[in-house]
Amino acid sequence: MTTNGGVPVGDNQNSQTLGHNGPVLLQDIHLIEKLAAFDRERIPERVVHARGTGAFGYFEATADMSAYTKAAPFQKVGKKTDLAVRFSTVAHGKGSSETARDPRGFAVKFYTEEGNYDIVGNNLPIFFIRDAIKFPDFIHTVKPSPVTNKQDPNRFFDFWSLSPEATHMVTRLYTDLGIPKGYQYMDGSSVHGFKWVNKKGEVVYVKYTWKTKQGIKTMTPEEASMVQAKNVGHATEDLRNAIESKNYPKWDLYVQFIKPEDLDKYDFWPLDATKHWFEDEFPLVKIGTMTLNRNPRNFFEEVESIAMAPGNLIPGVEASEDKMLQGRLFSYFDTQRHRLGGNFQQLPVNQPKNKPVNYNSDSWGSQGNDRYASAEINYEPSNHVDVKEDNEFRMAPFTASKEMKIVQAPINKTNNYGQAGQFYNSLTETEKKHLIANLVGDLSQVKNQRIQKRMITHFYRADRDYGMRVAKALGYSAKDFM
């Protein structure tokens, strides 16, 4: 045993004292270092997605997508790319139960030869809001009350009642999909559309979908309560056990396409994060399979320290004009710098396979000063070194918007209710009954009838039967809305 500095430790059981029964001495460097290290073991937990787990594996391409993108993992059939995955719940803290009704985070980091590429999404294909300016407010509503320190339906339904664009996601969340049985029993989605760019500079919009090969499995609230009573980390344990027993979880990756010239053809804006690209209109194209075959060797170093961000893009993939995505491009990097420090990308789990070459330097935890072409030259351009950018990787000169004026306004096609009704009508009768029961279970706790009525109105506008069932279950009649 040694100290952090490599000095041998003679006694790890007894502090240095003045005599056998005297006070402890400040000169006991091993004691001081051990306590100081322990005091700093915890880092700030993620503001969202704090509760989660991770695993490692690989992606194998099953289709050649080079006609659409120059992104390294998708260039030829059979190409394998190492990856890491982090699954999570959204609203609750690190020690919370994994049985909560909550979207599940589904984030994948590809370690490609041209840098790290992250697809950071959820198990559900849409989100509650379409503009990142509302994100802090939304998350505040699903976090515990600043007064009672308890999550409160009065708060999040208050927000949703005044945010009609949330109707679609609320509907999906309160179906059985809102409580997956485990992380390997759910699909994943990029939620946002992205641009794929090929070597000719041609652009197409894509959305990613992960389809579980284990089958979708969910729990009712009653089943979730029984599991939670025995194990608040059941999903983490189940995933780890599956990998340890070599029952490796797998997902097929699909993409959907929209041509730039077709973006305005629909009754909704496809780059609106509250909207789904339904498969009957936008066919799924399978491009590969992900296999998870290794558990973390150290949870803190490989899961708690992994830094996923939708801004981790590689040549062949670019951000779309999605207003929610645009905010996430900043927010995710910013939160990682807060949690892990300015050099978080130098942590082993976040390092790319190819060696970074740039002149970013110093600050806490820096291990990257050896990346310079010269020890003396830490700037560019310079006559002394030959490190230059590669024009091949310049951003594609393209935008979906023809507008050049700056505006601060909603998107042109909000259509807040159409897809919510479409999804509701795709449910079986049993699924509809579960949806209503789950909604009413939380809505009945809302004390303000105006909030209840506004939610019922949103559901009614999505589908008449939907709204009427919720109203009846809450004890309202038609005259209450006159």
Residue 67, C-beta contacts closer than 8 angstroms, at least 6 positions apart = 198
Q: How far apart are CA 85 and CA 308, in angstroms?
A: 9
Q: DSSP labels for 386-455? A: -----GGGSPPS--S----S---S--S----SHHHHHHHHHS-HHHHHHHHHHHHHHHTT---HHHHHHH
Task: Determine the residue type at 192.
Answer: H
**Active site residue: 92, 116, 122, 434, which one?**
122
Any idea what the Cα angle at residue 189 is, between residues 172 and 262, rounded to 5°? 95
DSSP state of 334: H
Phi-psi region at 58: left, alpha or beta (left = phi > 0; alpha = psi -120 to 50):
beta
Span of 98-112, 287-301, 364-378 with lowest mean pLDDT? 364-378
Residues spanned by the domain of 260: 52-134+180-353
Any idea what the Cα angle at residue 420 is, between residues 188 and 125, rounded to 5°? 10
Picking from 85, 87, 92, 99, the residue whose alpha carbon sits closest to that of residue 46 is: 92
Task: Determine the residue type at 366.
Answer: S
**Active site residue: 30, 49, 168, 234, which one?**
49
- Does position 469 have pLDDT exceeding 60, yes or no? yes
Count the residues in the chain.
Answer: 482
Q: What percent of the chain has pLDDT over 90?
A: 82
| Structure-model confidence comparison of residues 111 and 377, the more confident one | 111
pTM as predicted: 0.93
In a domain, 309, yes or no: yes
In a domain, 280, yes or no: yes
**122 flagged as catalytic:** yes
Q: What percent of the chain has pLDDT over 70?
A: 95
In a domain, 436, yes or no: no
In a domain, 2, yes or no: no
Which CATH number belongs to the domain containing residue 316 in this structure?
Answer: 2.40.180.10
Span of 117-126, 273-282, 313-322, 365-374 with lowest mean pLDDT? 365-374
**30 flagged as catalytic:** no
- pLDDT in the model for residue 356: 83
In a domain, 470, yes or no: no
For residue 49, the tally of other CB atoms under 10 A from its CB is 23
In a domain, 408, yes or no: no
In a domain, 318, yes or no: yes
Instruction: Render pLDDT for 138-176 as a digit per residue (tens, 0 to 9).
Output: 999 999 999 999 999 999 999 999 999 999 999 999 999
In a domain, 361, yes or no: no
Number of folded domains in the chain? 1
- Does position 196 have pLDDT exceeding 60, yes or no? yes
Please provide residue 74's backbone torsions phi and psi, each rounded to the nearest 5 degrees.
Answer: -115, 25
- Does position 208 have pLDDT exceeding 60, yes or no? yes
